[in-house]
Amino acid sequence: MDFGFSADEEEYRAALRDFATRTLAPRYRADDVAGALRPELVRDMADMGLTGLRIPVALGGQQAGAVATGIAAEEVGRADVNAAYIIVNTALISDILLRNATAPQQQAWLPPIAHGDALPALCVTEPEHGTDAAHLGLRAERSDDGWSLTGEKTSITLGMSATTALVLARTGGEGARGVSAFYIDLDDAHVHRDGFDDLGGRSIGRASLYFDHAPAPADRLVGAPGDGFVSVMQGFDYSRAVIGLACLGAAAQSLDEACQWAREREAFGQPIGRFEGVAFPLADGATRVRGARLLCYEALWRKDAGLAHTTEAAMAKLWAPKLAVEVIHQCLLTFGHTGYSSENAVGQRLRDVIGLEIGDGTAQASKLVISRGLLGRASAP
C-alpha cells in the first residue's frame, strides 16, 4: 500500500504548483470582477497540457492517468478553483468521446480540445430536468443531413464561452434509452445563450442555451441512437473525484493562509495561534481535508487500476465540496474582519466552491449512488 506520489507525479505536482501560482492566482480576483472567461486562460491551460490530459498522445494530448488528472485539478484549484472547470470539462468530455466516438470523429474533435482551440461544454441539465436527466425533453429530429436540435439546456458550465458541446437530446421514446448524444458547434445562429448572474463561479460563464433547430449532421451523433445517457453517466464515475480535489485544493490553500495569519497576528501579546479557539478549528479542518483527499485519490487510483469506483467517486463528491465550504468558512472567520474583505481571496473561494455542492451531482444524488452500492439496487432507494 502506497500513500505517496511517484517521483514523476511529485515533479508534475511541483511544476503545476509553480504554474498556478505564477499564472492563475494573480488573476483570480480580476476574473471574478470581470465575470467572464479570459480567452488567454484557455491558451495558458493548453500550453501546460491541461486541456488534453485524458487525450492520447497521437491525438495531441498527454494520455495522463486519472490520478494525474486529480493532481492537476488539486493544484489548479489552489490558485483558481474556477480554472479547474476547464480541466473537468475537457477530461470528462474527452473520456466520453474516446469510449464512444468513431476513430474519424476522434481525429476531428480531440486534437482541437487538446490544443485549446475548442472549449467544450456538457449540455445535460434542463429547466425541468436536473438530476432526473433520463427524462430530459430537448428533442433531436431527423433532417435532410442528419438531425436538428430544439429545446433548452440550463446551468451549463462554460456556457457563455464554450465553442463546442456534447448535448444529450431525445431521439426516441421516454426514459434513458430514448436519449442520444451529439457533439456540435455552438457558434451557430441557431444557438442562443443567456448568462447567469451568480453568487460565485462568475468567470466560468454559467448559462442557459437555447437550440432552435440547431443543425447536428449525421456524423455528429456520438455512438448509437439511444446510447447517449449511459455513455455520459459513466463519465461522472471518476470526474466527481476530480471535482472533489479541486475543492479540496481551494480549502488547503485557505488553510495555509489562515495558519500563516495565526502565526503572524497577535492579540493579548502573543500569536493568535496560541489560543485553542483559533488553533483547534484549523487542526480539525486540516484533518478532515486530509481524509477527504485520500478518498478522492482512492477513487482515481481505482479508475487507473480498472477497478469499480462508482461508489468511491460518489462518496468523494458527497464529502469534498461540503467539507471544503465548511473549512474555507472557518478560515475566513480566522482572519476576522480582514477575511470579510474582497481583498482577501478566502471569501471568493467560499462563494466559488459552494457552486460545486450543486454541480455534477447534488448530495442527495451522491447518497443515492452510495446507497445502491452498499445495499444493492433492489434494496436501496
How would you classify the pairing of strands 179-185 and 221-222?
A: antiparallel
Average pLDDT over the chain, rounded to whole? 95
Q: What gap in Å lies between CA 211 and CA 88, rounded to an integer? A: 24
Calculate what percentage of the chain has a pLDDT beyond 70: 100
Output the DSSP codes for 206-270: -EEEEEEEEEEEGGGEESSTT-HHHHHHHHHHHHHHHHHHHHHHHHHHHHHHHHHHHHH-EETTE
Q: Which helix (H) or strand (E) holds 325?
A: helix 310-335
Domains and CATH numbers, the chain: 7-119 (1.10.540.10), 121-229 (2.40.110.10), 230-379 (1.20.140.10)
Model pLDDT for residues 12-50, shown as the tens digit of each residue: 999 999 999 999 999 999 999 999 999 999 999 999 999
pLDDT band for position 2 (50/70/90)? confident
SS3 83: coil
Predicted TM-score of the model (pTM): 0.96
Model pLDDT for residues 242-269, shown as the tens digit of each residue: 999 999 999 999 999 999 999 999 999 9
